């Protein structure tokens, strides 16, 4: 059985702008079926206004969960500035409200603030208390796009990992995955990883050092980080088999949803990763983390 740790539906605004068919849960299930994926984490996104025209709130995700409880694993989402734009906001009641309805985690977080902003820290600590893993979209800059902000080599993220030991963080997107390579620079950190990886990068260190850090291998960012240098990629999968989570980041009808699965299957077929690592990454780690 395969669990996809990162999917979205998209039927509010974005498809109107793009003149596309709304991407419904039925469409998502068809894609999941075609890839042989049994369960998928459905992430609300766009709770922060920076996140393109992609609004999809927790209530709608929960509606889909009630309709397809055997397929959907619901997450909730809350902007760290919500409530009172303060680092003292009490989020415990809202997280509890969502937990009771079936939510298993929070994210993906896209507010364009420093990842160690006191308001983010406050939300992270609340998630740790209730036992919600947090999916963070790491972006390296202010403005122009969405996501949490950190500098080259993720010094702020490291502080967050150390200061919130009870919160599980799931790293995602460019500014996280570009740090798989020791050769990452200011110029290449907000782009897909390309070519050979000459030496292991910062996330290799962080994954080793912090038990509360996981990596979400979904989307172009995860795929290119692993497939641009397939031998390095496979050895990374094998080495961090307890800390990696399979996902596709499916959010439209078109797109290369299955690429990462093809890469995993090929790596397994060529004997570059073990059956054990494959099963942990595609199912067991997610099951353990989400208490399924």
194-253 residues in contact with Zn ion (CB under 5 A) are 249
Q: What is the DSSP letter of 280?
A: I
| CA–CA dist 276, 242 (Å, integer) | 10
**By C-alpha distance, which of 146, 200, 207, 211 is closest to 174?**
146
In whole angstroms, the minimum distance from the beta carbon of 290 to Zn ion comes to 17
Our finding on whether 158 is near Zn ion (CB under 5 A) is no
Q: In degrees rounded to 5, what are phi and psi of residue 275?
A: -55, -40
Token pair, residue 10, equals: 């998209």
Smallest gap from Cβ 3 to Zn ion, in A, equals 16
Q: Binding string, 92-111, against Zn ion, x = CB under 5 A?
A: --------------------
Of 150 and 249, the one with the shorter C-beta distance to Zn ion is 249
Structure token pair of residue 231: 């031998």
Q: At its nearest, how many Å lie between Zn ion and the CB of residue 118?
A: 25
CB atoms within 10 A of CB 143: 7
Minimal distance, residue 181 CB to Zn ion, in Å: 22
We find the least distance from the C-beta atom of residue 84 to Zn ion, in angstroms, to be 27
Q: Which of residues 248-277 bind Zn ion (CB under 5 A)?
A: 249
Q: How far apart are CA 37 and CA 67, in angstroms?
A: 18
Q: Which is nearer to Zn ion, 22 or 155 (CB)?
A: 22
Nearer to Zn ion, 250 or 267 (CB): 250
C-alpha–C-alpha distance, residues 204 and 233, integer Å: 12
Residue whose beta carbon is closest to Zn ion: 249
Size of the site for Zn ion (CB under 5 A): 1
Q: In whole angstroms, what is the distance from residue 126 CA to residue 92 CA?
A: 6
Report the interface residues with Zn ion, using CB under 5 A. Answer: 249
């Amino acid at each position: 059985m395969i669990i996809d740790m990162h999917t979205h539906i998209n039927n509010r605004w974005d498809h109107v702008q793009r003149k596309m068919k709304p991407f419904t849960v039925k469409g998502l299930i068809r894609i999941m079926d075609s890839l042989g994926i049994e369960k998928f984490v459905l992430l609300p996104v766009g709770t922060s206004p920076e996140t393109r025209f992609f609004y999809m709130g927790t209530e709608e995700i929960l509606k889909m969960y009630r309709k397809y409880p055997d397929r959907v694993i619901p997450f909730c989402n809350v902007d760290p500035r919500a409530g009172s734009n303060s680092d003292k906001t009490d989020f415990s009641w809202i997280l509890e409200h969502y937990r009771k309805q079936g939510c298993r985690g929070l994210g993906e977080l896209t507010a364009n603030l420093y990842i160690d902003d006191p308001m983010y820290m406050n939300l992270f600590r609340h998630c740790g208390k209730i036992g919600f893993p947090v999916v963070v979209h790491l972006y390296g800059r202010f403005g122009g796009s969405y996501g949490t902000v950190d500098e080259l080599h993720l010094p702020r993220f490291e502080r967050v990992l150390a200061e919130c030991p009870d919160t599980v963080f799931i790293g995602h997107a460019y500014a996280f995955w570009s740090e798989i390579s020791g050769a990452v620079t200011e110029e290449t950190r907000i782009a897909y990883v390309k070519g050979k990886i000459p030496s292991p990068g910062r996330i290799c260190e962080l994954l080793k050092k912090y038990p509360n850090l996981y990596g979400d291998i979904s989307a172009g960012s995860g795929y290119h980080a692993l497939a641009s240098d397939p031998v390095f990629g496979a050895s990374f999968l094998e080495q961090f088999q307890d800390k990696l989570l399979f996902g596709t980041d499916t959010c439209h009808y078109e797109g290369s949803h299955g690429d990462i699965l093809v890469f995993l299957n090929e790596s397994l077929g060529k004997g570059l990763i073990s059956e054990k690592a494959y099963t942990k990454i595609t199912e067991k780690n997610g099951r353990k983390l989400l208490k399924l």
